[in-house]
Amino acid sequence: MGNIIGGGIFLLPASVAPYGTISLVAFGVLTLGAIALALVFGRLAHRHPATGGPYVYAREAFGDFAGFLTAWSYWATTWVSNAALAVAAVGYLDVLVPLHGSTAATLGAALLLQWLPALANLAGTRYVGAVQLVATVLKFLPLLLVAVSGLFFFDSANLGPFRAGGESSLGAVSASAAILLFSYLGVESAAVSAGEVRDPRRNVGRATVLGTLAAALLYLLTTLSVFGTVPHERLVASDAPFTDAVDLMFGGSWGGTAVACMALVSMVGALNGWTLLSAQTPYAAARDGLFPKAFARKRRGVPTVGVVVTVVLASLLTVYNYTSGTQRVFETLVLVTTFTATVPYLLSSAAQLYFLLSGQSDRVHRPRLVRDTVLALASFGFSLWLVAGSGYAAVYQGVLFLFAGVLVFAWMSARRRRAAAGEAAVRHPSAHPPRPCDGRRPRTSRRRPTGVRSGR
């Protein structure tokens, strides 16, 4: 639940407000889809309780290439979402330290918010856990405050139109759901760390389903409260919707400032946890030879190379989005993350279908076959629908990330094949006679034994 409730929820009410209150319908549909995904991940973790989550399932079902694409896409999801979290955190930092719309100051703050959690990760898992504990406690306070208090200050006149944009109802639901998915990222995180959990066959499934249900309930209440307390026109332009909601509930600015502080701590904590999580999947893939070996190195329990590479890539993406003239940086990053996140979801759902329909008795629980098949089909269709709702720009950028990964896979596969051939040559030297340095085969002597005449 702590991984699911990161920082995105603190900005998402303003991000979906341009679509109107129909986005609440999208939230309901998204919740059902997220629960289906949670149930699928719970069943998969029961069958394969190993660190790596979606990567493990896709590789087991479809081979190395599918496993690599899953690991690559999930890794891209983590560092792109870290960039988006930093952008969201800057919006609340602006409440405390006015940046006055300066691009340089905003960019510097976003980069600082990414590198501080990375340094905490490099210091070791003990510091990661301490930061995460404080952040998890503080993140629930503003959410519960808005969720409960908002019901007493709710005014239906603030809701605005049901469908504010020019899209069709289906288009508005799909587009807003694609943005809202960012708030549910982390539904798979218990499965990713299954190898580190006590009794994972039992506990990972429970944590995934119960955490998703609890987060969904809190999300729906808080979003509804913000919609009902902040006027629609103000909400659309807001960079800190929870701060605006508390200010309007209690008057003055003290409440909003307090919420901004807690939201900022929550987002830094989310960045702290996701930075560590971003290194776990490359670590698992590197152990299998699908990622460079450097990603498999650990220091103080942390895959340090994965942490450093992740924060560098997130920083470069943040710089690009702030300097390219993009007006809605957070929404752009969120939609890219939605596409890259759906690739592991699609492949995990397909892997579950493969396990169920292939008749592998060690993986299929027969009495639950129909239920599990329906859930896998629902989660696959749900993930495909999210890809369609991401938009052309997000799919375009996401596909570029995937295609770049294909080149890495070709390089790693060639290295593995060459290494395997070298090991075979060492084990069986007679099967591979040495060749001259010019690459030609050694000449065999044509000299006839003494005393043997030619056949002519």
Q: What is the structure's pLDDT at 190? A: 74
Neighbours of 405 (CB within 10 A): 17
Mean pLDDT of all residues in 164-177: 77
Q: What is the structure's pLDDT at 37? A: 87
Report the chain's mean pLDDT, rounded to a whole number: 78
| Confidence check: pLDDT of 331 > 70 | no
Mean pLDDT of all residues in 432-439: 51
Compute the distance between CA of residue 97 and CA of residue 111 in angstroms, rounded to an integer. Answer: 16
Mean pLDDT of all residues in 23-44: 85
Compute the distance between CA of residue 173 and CA of residue 313 in angstroms, rounded to an integer. Answer: 31
Confidence band for 194, pLDDT divided at 50, 70 and 90: low
Q: What is the structure's pLDDT at 5? A: 76
Mean pLDDT of all residues in 423-447: 55
Mean pLDDT of all residues in 210-216: 84
Mean pLDDT of all residues in 177-206: 74
Q: What is the structure's pLDDT at 361? A: 47
Confidence band for 176, pLDDT divided at 50, 70 and 90: confident
Which range, 184-188, 343-347, 387-391, is most confident?
Answer: 343-347
Mean pLDDT of all residues in 204-209: 81
CA 153 centroid distance within chain: 35
Q: What is the structure's pLDDT at 35? A: 87
| Confidence check: pLDDT of 1 > 60 | yes
The larger pLDDT score, comparing residue 324 to residue 57, is at 57
| Confidence check: pLDDT of 211 > 50 | yes
Confidence band for 126, pLDDT divided at 50, 70 and 90: low
Q: What is the structure's pLDDT at 428? A: 65
- Residues of the chain with pLDDT > 90, as a percent, come to 4
Q: What is the structure's pLDDT at 7? A: 64
Least confident of 342-346, 401-405, 424-428, 448-452: 448-452
Q: What is the structure's pLDDT at 365? A: 57
Q: What is the structure's pLDDT at 247? A: 84
368-424 pLDDT per residue, tens: 778 888 888 988 988 887 777 677 877 887 888 888 888 888 888 888 888 777 776
Asked whether 382 and 33 are in contact (CB, 8 A), the reply is: yes
| Confidence check: pLDDT of 298 > 70 | yes
| Confidence check: pLDDT of 341 > 70 | yes
Least confident of 247-251, 335-339, 426-430: 426-430
Q: What is the structure's pLDDT at 312? A: 93
| Confidence check: pLDDT of 437 > 90 | no
Q: What is the structure's pLDDT at 8? A: 65
Confidence band for 330, pLDDT divided at 50, 70 and 90: low
Least confident of 74-83, 230-239, 345-354, 363-372: 363-372
Mean pLDDT of all residues in 318-332: 69
| Confidence check: pLDDT of 447 > 60 | no
Least confident of 73-77, 183-187, 229-233: 183-187
| Single-letter amino acid, residue 408 | V
Confidence band for 323, pLDDT divided at 50, 70 and 90: confident
